Amino acid sequence: MLNNVTAWLDHTAERYPEKTAFSDERKSVTYWELSVQAKAIAAGIVQLGIFKKPVAVFLPKGAGTIISFMAAAYSGNFYTPIDVEMPKKRVQKILEVLESEAVITSSDLVSVFRSYGYEKNIVIFEEAVQGETSEKQIAAVHSKCIDTDILYVLFTSGSTGTPKGVAISHRSVFDYIDFV
C-alpha cells in the first residue's frame, strides 16, 4: 500500500526509469533522476535533524522546484512553495506564519531570501543535489511516515491581508488521483 507520495515515485521510477517525469525550458528529468536527485537533497535535510516540519522552497518554477518538493517529502517533512516573484512583505508574512525550519533555494537566490530576515537552515539546491544518498536513512524516515502526514501547505491570499496556509496530506493527493 502506498502511504506516501515518495513510495509512489519510487514505484514509478522502478517501472519507468527512463520516462520523462518533468521538463521545462531549461531541464528535463526522468522518474529515475527525479527520485535520485530528490533523495540526495533529502539526505542533507535529514542530517539537519528536521522531521515533520515545514521546508520552504524558494526557486523559479521548473524541474528544480519539483525535485525540491519531493526532497522535502523524502526527508519526512512537508513543503511550501514560495514564488520568487512574490512581494517581500508577503514572503515575510508567510515565513512568520509557517515557521519554516529550512529553505531550499539556489545559490543566486540566497541573498534575496536572507533579505527577508530568514536566519534558519538554507539548503543550496545545486550543492545538495550532488550530495550522497542514503537509502537506509530515507527508509528509516519513511517508516515513521503515514498517509495523513502533511505533504504541502499552500498559502492563500488571505482576505484579511494575512496569508493563510492550507495543508494537504499525502492521503488527499491519493484520493484526488483516484477520483480523477
State pTM to two decimals: 0.93
Q: What is the pLDDT of residue 158?
A: 66
Whether 109 and 59 have beta carbons less than 8 Å apart is answered as yes
- Using CA atoms, how far apart are residues 49 and 75, in angstroms rounded to an integer? 10
Residue 160, pLDDT above cutoff 80? no
94 within 8 A of 54, measured Cβ to Cβ:
no
The pLDDT value recorded for residue 179 is: 67
The three grid cell numbers given for residue 103, joined into one nine-digit string: 529553505
**Residue 3: pLDDT over 80:** no
Least Cα distance to 175 among 142, 143, 148, 156 occurs for 148
What does the mean pLDDT of the chain come to? 92
Please give the grid coordinates belonging to residue 119. Answer: 536566519
d(CA 130, CA 51): 22
pLDDT bracket for residue 135 (50, 70, 90): confident
